[in-house]
Amino acid sequence: MTYPRVEWDKEVNAASIYFREREGDISKGVPVEDEDGDVLAVLRFSPAGELLEVELLNAKEQMPRIFRS
């Protein structure tokens, strides 16, 4: 499989950008908030601290154009 890999659920307007295959559990998800405290994205890390996934919660606006096809 080629990475990064993008999965976009247009019905809920959320997308995940994966950087590599997950091996086991994700140890933590870290929310990214705007100045009003609204969650814009979630960063997911392996137990070793490696970034595995970025989940965008408003993908239509946040996702780079090259991934919106």
Q: Where are the domains of the chain?
A: 5-67
End-to-end CA distance of the chain: 19
Cβ atoms of residues 29 and 43 within 8 Å: yes
Nearest Cα neighbor of 15 from 59, 68, 69, 53 is: 59
pLDDT at 68: 77
pLDDT at 21: 81
pLDDT by position in tens, the chain (length 69): 788 899 999 999 999 999 988 777 777 899 999 999 999 999 999 888 889 999 999 999 999 888 776
CA distances from 26 to 8, 10, 22, 50 (A): 20, 24, 8, 10
pLDDT at 57: 97
What does pTM read for this prediction?
0.84
